[in-house]
Structures are given as structure tokens and as C-alpha cells.
Structure 1
Amino acid sequence: MSQFLSYLLILSFFFFINSLGTNSRPLLAICEPHLCGNVNISYPFWVRNEIASDQQYYCGYKGFGVMCLDGEAVLELPGDRYYVKDINYADYTLTLVDIDITTNQTCPRARQNVSLETLPLKYSSVDLNLSFYFNCTSYAPTVPSIQCLNIGSYRSYVFVENNETEGFDWSKNCEEKVVVTVRQTQINMDNLTGGFGGAMNDGFVLDWERVKDWAMNDGFVLDWESVKDCGPCERSEGYCGYNATAEEFLCFCNDGSTHSNSCKGPPSRTKKLKLIRGVAASGVGVLLTCIIIFWFRSKRSIIKSTKFWTKKTKNEHDLEAFIRKYGPLALNRYKFLEIKKMTNSFRDKLGQGGFGGVYKGKLLDGRPVAVKVLNESKGNGEEFINEVASISRTSHVNIVTLLGFCLEGQKRALIYEFMPNGSLEKFIQDGNLEKTNSHLGWEKLFQIAIRIARGLEYLHRGCNTRILHFDIKPHNILLDEDFCPKISDFGLAKLCIRNESNISMTGTRGTIGYIAPEVFSRNFGGVSHKSDVYSYGMMILEMAGGRNNIDVGVS
């Protein structure tokens, strides 16, 4: 009993001390400059792997968190990820490379369309925008096509933006337009079609906007759409950071204090608030101790049967094991209360499956998302781990983007980009080919089939780790606003070595009507990536015939 009371008193004391601001000490080590590959990461950039995306403090501007994945620095801009080739702190410039070009550096398929939105970044004066047009059905006069990107009778073109050929309707004759930014000094203006690959490999340059110290001294309010100068803080042997709650610049100092400009200046507003909160917290701690003592005396028998320490769930142990094996996840982790807030308490339901429900939500930046909430009683969480582990390692235009996840005890949720046109399944009408054609048209169905194949090829050959999906079917193909298909639902997926032909697998996984024979029975042969190809073929038959493969009435 006395040991228990002593523990509570010590806990209350540390609760008070911690509230005074000592939590900035651990940040000092994290906020030191880091080297990822050949890229030096320091203020206003910071290492995102080591700091939770939902915490109060950052080691730099909140949108400049750089992930270090397999020795490569990666920056996530709204909509896509980019390799960081160089950060020039003298010129305030950032050189990025499209992450997709690593699969084909000689003739990459451009997917850039960079969106800077509210970040304090702007294109450099050395940049040049190129217009790419893909899958063009007609020949463009005087503009040579990109031979390595031509597919059959379809042509692809590239030229300097706004320098389009007169009399040729690009939007009518071509399926897709992508604007790609490159450094003007690296592009051969006389041979764009032959030199665009090398120029994309050299990347493009962005400038970050900077607020001078004198702007603060003259009484101007700091707008974090621009990045504050870190010089005074670093010269006082501090490390620059940012308080997301108070929306203010901070200088973390060796004594554990935080200041508004440098370690020699007055304490920050956050420090004063912490002092007030600390006094209140100590009072709450003493009150809490008294309540627990009273409860302990009156309910001693109940205490004996109660576990004071909550053990980690099997899901959390499995997730930690995956991180140790493959490295940190480049995903945001949310609390369940945040999930409820972004879905408005699960008000707008998009669909229901055996795993649970899917709800429409909205992130803090306004982006719409689809939130899949898994049933707490559904299995042991293996499908959840599979989905987080596999899709977090992908980046492709035909693979749905996983933006984050929630794992809080038995509560599990996955946050995806929102696909306004839903699944392909609803555009395939049973036994009514004519109605299917009127919905999308044969050309659109053909393009959807081609793009699904590209996404599947990326999973099998484009990733460092081969991903087998095992559940390719129309229900798991989602369509964006332009009816561009994206493969989703990786709950049955399996990771394997790229050069591995057959894989060992216990049990059967997939949906009846799409499962390859060898997955159902090993008597038909070994399970490999070809099993996904079989499911893809069954889905194509369903798209062409306009009927459901699992309809028992179909002969």
C-alpha cells in the first residue's frame, strides 16, 4: 500500500515538472541536422520519420517534413511524393525529382502535375514547363512524337507549354495532358523528344519564401505561409522549430526552455502558458492522488483483479515487426477521435462490406477522403496489417493512395484518397451489354482495362518488393472524377521477393469467380504473380460481357 502511494506522489511530481516545458529537451537531439544519403536535412526542413505528424512541435516548417526511406530523402507534396536531390540553404532552393522516373530513367512516363497549394514554395526562374500529351489518336503536324512512349497506333508528344501547334485540337485528339517542370538549362530545345528523360532525371527547382528578422522586430505578425529566418536562434546555440497549436516559431534551447526568436530573448508565449498549465496540473495531480487513495481503500478486492498496464495488441506488435523489417512507414497515424472528427462522427456512409463500413471524410486541409473502418470483431487484424504494409510502399497513378491509418487497441481504420465515381462494379450491368456501353463506352472501358494492367504490372515489377494482390475484381477497382481506375483493397495482399517465381501460401484467398485454380488447389501448380493475371482476365471477361462472374444463373 505504501509503495503504491509513493508511486502516485512521484508520478504527480513528474507530471508537474513535465508541464513546465522540459518536453523540449528530447526535441533537441531530433532537431539537429540529419544526413539522409547525400542530402543534409536541417531547418526549415526536418526528419518526418522521427516526429509524429500529429504532435504539437516540429523541428521546422510543418509542411517540410522529409522522409528518409532506404537512404533516399523523400518530400511529400499535396498529391504525390518526390525524391529530394538537393537542398541549397544559401540560395533557399530545393531540387526535386519525380519519384516515378526511377522505374524507367531513359524514357519515363510523366505523371508530375505538381500542386504546391498553401506551402511557401514557388517555381524557380530556372524552371521550364513542358506539356506532355499521351495516347493521341491523330498525328500532330510539325511535332515529332516520343517514339519510346508510343503504344501501337497511339502517339505521345512533348513541347514547351503554351507553344502548341495551331489548328490541332490537343484536348480532342489526346487522352491525357500532364505538365512537367524541368530545369531549363538541362533540356535540349532542339530535341525535346530525345532529351526529356535526362532532364526529368535532373529534376526541377523550387524556392522557399523567407521572412527576415527585421519583419518581426518592426512589429509585423509572422505569417507561416512564409518561413522565418533561423539565424538568431542558431547563433544562440538553439534549434529552430514550430508550435503547431499556438502557430508560432520557437527556438528550442539547451536548458529545456523555448523562446520566440533566440535563446537570449524573452520566453515564448508557449513557455508562459506552460507555467500556468503546470500550476493547474499539479493541483489536478494532487486531487487525482486523493481520489485514487479513497478508491483503493474502498475497492481493494477489485484492484487486485485489475491490470494497471495495458498490453499492446497483436496488431501493434505485427506493425512494429513490419517496420523493423522494411523500415518506417511514410504514412500519417491518426487517433480514433481524429477519425471521428474528419468523418463528422461517421455521418456520410459510402458503402458496407464484410470488413466494416466506408465513410466520406475531410482532412484539415480540406481534401476529401474515404475512411474504411474495420470491424473490431473481424479476424485477428491480418488484413489490416497486409493493407498498411503493402500499399504504403506504392506510388502509382493506378494504385489508390493510402493517406494514413488508425491503430488504437482494437480500433482500426484506413484513410484513402476519395474516388468520386466509386467502384467499377456499378458500371457493369448484369446481362445488359447495351446499358454498360451507354455508361462508359467501349473506348473508355478499353482505357480502363489498359490502366488497370499498368497498375498490376507496377505491383509485380515496379516495386522494390513484389506485391501480389489476390483479389482483383471490379469491386476493388475505384474510379476518380476522370474515370481513371485505381486498384484498391490490399487486405489479402502478400509481399514477396521480386525474382521469386512461386511463393508458399497456406489456405485460399480471393473471391469466388476470380480465384486462379492454383490458389484454390495446389494440384494445378504453384502460386505466383500469374494468379493475379488470371483474376484480371476474369474481370476483363466480365467487363466485355457485362455480367457478373459469380452469378449462379450464368452457365
Structure 2
Amino acid sequence: MRPHLLLAISCFILFITIIFVSGSTPVFSADEERYLNCRNLFDCGNIKGIGYPFSGSNRPDYCGYPGFELNCSNQDPEITIIQSTYRVLGINKQSRTLNVARTDYTENLCPTLLFNTTLNPNLLSYTKDAHNITIYYGCPTQGSPTSHFLTQFPCSINTTEMTGYFTATTDFSLLESCANSVIVPVRESAYEQIMKDATVAKLLGAIGQGFGLEWKANDTLCDTCNSSGGQCGYNQTTKAFACYCADQPRDFNCLPSPPSQSTKETSNPDSLKIGLSTAGTVVCVFLGCWIVTIIQRKRRKAALLKSKDIPVATPPSSKRLATSTNLSQTIPAITSSKSDINKGSTYFGVRVFSYNELEEATSYFDSSKELGDGGFGTVYYGVLRDGRAVAVKRLYENNLRRAEQFMNEIEILAHLRHTNLVTLHGCTSRHGRELLLVYEYIPNGTVSDHLHGKQSNAGLLTWPVRMSIAIETACALAYLHSSDVIHRDVKTNNILLDNDFHVKVADFGLSRLFPTDVTHVSTAPQGTPGYVDPEYFQCYQLTDRSDVYSFGVVLIELISALEAVDTNRHRHDINLSIMAVNKIQNQALNELVDPFLGFDKDFVVRKMVTSVAELAFRCLQQQREMRPTMVEVLEILRRIEKENYGAEKAHVLDTREDDSGLLKHPPPALELSPDSE
């Protein structure tokens, strides 16, 4: 050991000892900084003293809850709810309510875009004094209204002149032929005034007064955290509530430190200094003995080698595993590491859970906690011992094929990090009782649920939300392809949604690593009926364009809200992709579009849906060379979203006119792809 190195080590130890003995630290830790930042309330516009669950201005995101970010650039703060902007007129911490008003009805009743007031029920709900006012647009002129509760007004939207009505009651047959309707909530006091005298001025005044919303953002946990001296926040890594304490963040509350630590250290500072000094001395002695031992070993080894005249060998360089285009040959590369699953607490960098811990987290796999049932296993809701909410996938059987899918998904997800990909928290042992995978819990179901499942009647998937889902899904797939991964099971059941309707692509059991130096991988077709690439099915050649085809089916689902395969439809329309191609070629796109979107009534929606349908048509070409890449798909979707269709003249068109711009050259006949499972 060189003398100057020993001196440096000694000085470092002395410096650390002095800092400890002095009882101070030069800077705040990140944990302390979060505690201090979240302790301070903030002002936003004309609203003062705002705290959890809100963030904005100089208050960091981790001090609030997702969905409660405030824009403080105006006198009245603004909040975005389901991609719509509202003015925040007041916040009541005690009742956990806020008063908001729509920004598009501040001056007149004729906004550029028409949309209903919709909420995320997991975060917000109307207060009891909220009442709905329905505003109708594009109605036939009926002369003077015959009802006291029905008020007529002229309207001009995108230079299109129309007649509108509004009413605080329901069941007006006169209004059934109107082109559009919008539901706007108002407070009960304002509602009563409109019932007495329904004028445009009073309606605008009522909308301007706003309406009440109750929020839900782990408030009970926040109360527990605050009562223990902590500050409420949100952990962006674990996607869960966090209680920031003076020393470190915790899950629920700031538990008091053991007496041997905080209490004794505070009450007896002299003993603290003595203890730390003693500990420093012990460390110095130990380090000195260790250095002496190393020096002696090196001297003995050098003397031994010199006496035997043996040259010192250099360690062999590590060999890189060759990449094979035959997927079956990649299994040894995975299984060679599977023994690591029992050697420690991580596998490919993810945590290994015991079966008992996950059994406990899911209440012994209680059927009431089932989140979904797929082709490979059942997914359960669970809560870990540290308080994190998770989704636990329980594979149906523990055989060689399931084990391969199990390890494949772990290996792929362990090395991928993207905001639109589900996070893998851990797994069980490959040789354990059952094969279990632990993911972050995504609370808002799947895109399939919202399009044609148990949540389809909620009406939350407006066209802007569907467009956002398409873009974020394409972003995730483009990232996978850039990482040499093919998903191979892209479908709306595998696209999860969080509380803000942001996308999390899931289920990588069938995914494959794709070598960059090959054009395709030969493997038996696997996937879900209605989504499988027909060329892959026919030629057994998997490429990144196979995902593009499946994504094309997803785009059609977003447009139509129809299932990819439905045996109740006409036999020529059982396969959605075939039906969509036929409709587009026959310039009958309007027959395919979900009526909820207002395709025949809303000019902007009509133009955007038509453009997305054209892109889907390209993705659904049978020959893979005819399909765009996912990067190109993403660029086109972003361009469609940014296009200022509202600036165009919104005149009434034949419902078939815009379809003429779609591709008209028919691709070869598409085939229904069976599920190899």
C-alpha cells in the first residue's frame, strides 16, 4: 500500500468522524428536502394556502396526487379533468371539495368544440347540490318555444349558423332531431333561478358560478400521516401514496424511532459524541488491520511466484453469448440464469417474493379480488406488506411451456423502462410452488373494458381520450421495437389505463427479443384471434410489422367500439379487420364508427377519425412490406392530433364524401387467425 493512499484514507476517516461528532451534516438529504417542500402550502392565482392533494407553482409533483396538478398562470387556477380544462374557483380542505367552472362557456353558449362534462369516478364525484343543464345544438327551427323551460338561442360554430336550445328538464321530443347535445352541471341555487326564468344570460351566469366536486386521493391515509407529523405526497416510483417524514419517506405514518436511537441521542448529546468517537476509532483500527493483512498477502504471493518462477496470469476475458435467430435456442440463455432465482432476492434485477407473502397479499387468492382472466393466468388485486397495491398474475400451470413464458416476461420487462409500459415489481421462484408475477396495480381497467366491456356504458372514452390512447400505445410499441422486442400479443385487453386514462401496455408472455441483424424470426404463430398478422400465420415469419398489424386492429376498435372477433355478427363481418377493410374500401366508414363519437355531427371528429381509419387501413395490409413501421405510425398519429381541423370550414357534407380519400386498392383477402393456445 502506497503511503499517500494510506494518508488519504486516514484523512477521509478523520473528516467523517469530525462531522459525526459535531452533530451536523453539510447538506439536506433528498428525503429531508421532500419533507420540507411538502410541508409548505402554496398560493395559486387568487387561492391561498393550498396543500395536498394539489401541486403546482413551486410545489413539486411528489407533494400532490396525480390528476390534481394546477396551472397557476391565471388569476383563477386551472385544472385538467379528462383532457378538458376547468377554472378552479375555490378549494375547501375541510370538506375536500373544489368549485370548478368550464372555461369554454365564459362568454357565450357556442364553443368551438362540443363535449360533455365527464369525471374520473376514481378521483372526483359531483357534490349533492349539482344539477345538469342540457344544451342542444343544430336543432330544426321551431319558432318560439312552447315550453317555459325551453329556451332558444342562435349559434355560430366554425362559421356554421345553427339553432340551439337549453333546458333544465328532460324528455323533450322536439329536441330528438338536434345534431348535438352537451350536459353542463350547475349548482342547485343557480338551477332554481333558471327554472324560474330561463334566459341565456342566467345560464351563462350559472355556468360561471361553477359546480362542486368531491375529491378522493387517499385522504384517510393522509390524515394518518399528518397526525404522525408527516407530510402527504405521492411516490412516482411505486405509484402509491407516500408519507414524507423528517428522516425518510414511509408508507402510511411517521412511526417514532426506537428509544435507543432518536430519544437517547436527543436527550444525551455528550453520550452521542462519545459513542460516535468510539465507533470511529474501532473503524480506524479495523481498517488498519485489513490494510496490513492485504499487504502481507501480496508480499507472500509475490515471494511464492518468484520462488517457483511462475508468471502471473491475467483473468480470461468474458465471452459474449451469440445471438440466435432460432427462438428455441435462446432458452438456454434464460435457463442458465434461472438458478439465480433461488440464490438470492433478485432475478434479472427484480425482487423474488415468497409464495406465502403473495398468498397473504391476495387474501389467499380470494375470487373477489380477481382483476381479470386471460389465456395464461388469472390476475388478482393484492396489497404487499409495505402497503403497495399490486396486480399478481397467477399462471395456470407450472409446466415447461409456462415456465418459458414466465422467465421470458421477467427477462424482457426487467430491462425495459417506459412510462407507457407496466412495471414488473417481482416474481416467485421458478422452482416454487406456483409461477407468480407481481406488477404495479393499474386501477382503471383495460381499453377493452371501456370499449365493449363492463365499463363501456360510462361514456368516458371520448374521441380525445381515444386519440391519446392510440398515441401512447404506439409510443410504447415504438419503444419496444427500438429495444429489439416484439410484443406479439397487442390487443385492447393488454392495454391498461390508469386513473388519468394514460396507457400501460402489459402481458409480455409471448414477446420475443428480435436480433437486429435478421429480417424475421421463424416461430409457430401465437396470439389472439382477430389480432394475429395473417402473413405471420401463413408463413411462420415473425417481424416487427406483426405488431403493426395487431395495432391496426386496435385502431379500428377505438374507432368502432366493436370487438376484434364477434361470432354474433354476419359471417363476413366476424373478423373486425376484414369488416373494416371492406367498409373503408366501399366508402362506408360512417357505418363502422361508434355512434357515441358523433361522426356524422362533429366536423373535427369526422376529419380525425377518417385520418386514423386511413392509417389503420395501411396497418392492416396483408403483405408486411405494405405496412408502416411503428415509428411512422406514431408520427402520423401525432400529426393527426395536432392538425387544426377546427380552422377549416365546417359545412355539412355527405357522410361518404371524406371517405373517398382513403386507400381504395384492395389488399388480398384477410383470414381469421386462430389462437394457437
TM category (shorter chain) comes to 0.3 to 0.5
TM-score where L is the length of structure 2 = 0.39
| Higher strand proportion (structure 1 or 2) | 1
Over alpha carbons, which structure has the higher Rg? 2
TM-score where L is the length of structure 1 = 0.46
